Amino acid sequence: SYVLTQPPSVSVAPGQTARLTCGGDHIEKRGVHWYQQKPGQAPVLVINDDRDRPSGIPERFSGSNSGNTATLTISGVEAGDEADYYCQVLDGTSYVFGTGTKVTVL
């Protein structure tokens, strides 16, 4: 089955840029979706199909996908961005999530 690999944690100072990676074999051929999950809450879709922002998601969130790595970029990080972030792709008739990255705002 398809495997998505994410770094366990990323730390970033307020106002700086966080880049979260999601690695997978030829992932550029798949649409990658990103979810934000704050403690005790349900996940929220923040990036759809590599780079599209759903309604209500700040422009600070952007995505890209090339080669074997998809990237979620959070510009001008705020304290409220502290959360777990998961990437996800469709693999045939099943859905695969990445291992998740915990973003800590210093």
Partner 1 sequence: EVQLVESGGDLVQSGGSLRLSCAASGFSVSDYYMNWVRQAPGGGLEWVSILYSGGDIFYADSVDGRFTISRDISRNTLSLQMNNLKADDTAVYFCVKGGIRGTNFDFWGRGTLVSVSS
Contacting residues toward partner 1, per CB under 8 A? 31, 33, 35, 37, 41-45, 48-49, 54, 86, 88, 90, 93-100
Q: Which is nearer to partner 1, 14 or 38 (CB)?
A: 38
Minimum CB–partner distance for residue 15 and partner 1 (Å): 29
Distances (CA, A) of 95 to 48, 54, 83: 14, 20, 22
Contacts of residue 87, Cβ cutoff 8 Å, sequence gap at least 6? 4, 6, 22, 32, 33, 34, 35, 70, 72, 97, 98
Q: How far is the CB of 16 from partner 1 (least distance, A)?
A: 26
Residue 74: CB atoms within 10 Å: 24
CB of 37 to partner 1, least distance (A): 8
* Cβ proximity to partner 1, 45 vs 73, nearer residue: 45
